[in-house]
Chain A
């Protein structure tokens, strides 16, 4: 079945550091890939998405590139801020699953001033 694996957390960085959160997936066909973010006490919000190989999704300084050859969708940001502290979820949607999502386990990011 489909699965999403994220790097083990939690991740703690200093402000202005470079961020990478790894995400790899297993799925048949050509899934769409998503990053969601969950701020403390809130529900998940879509951060960015990519729908086909080599697509780059971007939003709020975050980027991720759909790499079919390595089945990966790593999240990156060049300079993190304290306000980026949150839990980040990688997810996929397979073309035969309608709009259902399969989520990774989430990565807790803490950014210290």
Chain B
């Protein structure tokens, strides 16, 4: 039972490079999320997708794009990486039916931008 799977687990980029973080869930959830985690700041929502075919900006969307490829997969793209984007990125999924449904998280992608 994999739950939420993120790839890669670690990545080092140079400033200006691009990359895509992959996320897939096998729980048939409708909603998916991308967060970044920085020391002392908790988790901040970058983008979310309430259902297949829809995406919306969260708290800190600048410098990122997302694609909800299908119900299972939700990718996060950095078009031109900047050192300020060095962070740990988490993908999560949940059922939207009822706001009390827990979010299920992947193990994170640790991204360093030099």
- What distance in Å separates the Cβ of B22 from its nearest Cβ neighbour in chain A? 15
Q: In the docked arrangement, what's the CA distance between A99 and B103, Å?
A: 8
Q: A89-B42, A104-B42 are in contact. Are A32 and B99 (CB under 8 A)?
A: yes
Contacts A89-B43, A98-B99 aside, 8 further interface pairs with beta carbons under 8 A come to A32-B100, A42-B108, A43-B108, A44-B43, A46-B102, A46-B103, A99-B96, A101-B43
Q: A99-B94, A100-B48, A103-B43 are in contact. Are A43 and B99 (CB under 8 A)?
A: no
- What distance in Å separates the Cβ of B95 from its nearest Cβ neighbour in chain A? 7
Are B99 and A106 in contact (CB-based, < 8 A)? no
Are B108 and A106 in contact (CB-based, < 8 A)? no
Q: A99-B31, A100-B48 are in contact. Are A51 and B100 (CB under 8 A)?
A: yes
Are B50 and A43 in contact (CB-based, < 8 A)? no
Inside 8 A of A72's CB, which chain B residues have their CB?
A: none
- What distance in Å separates the Cβ of B4 from its nearest Cβ neighbour in chain A? 7
Q: In the docked arrangement, what's the CA distance between A105 and B38, Å?
A: 9
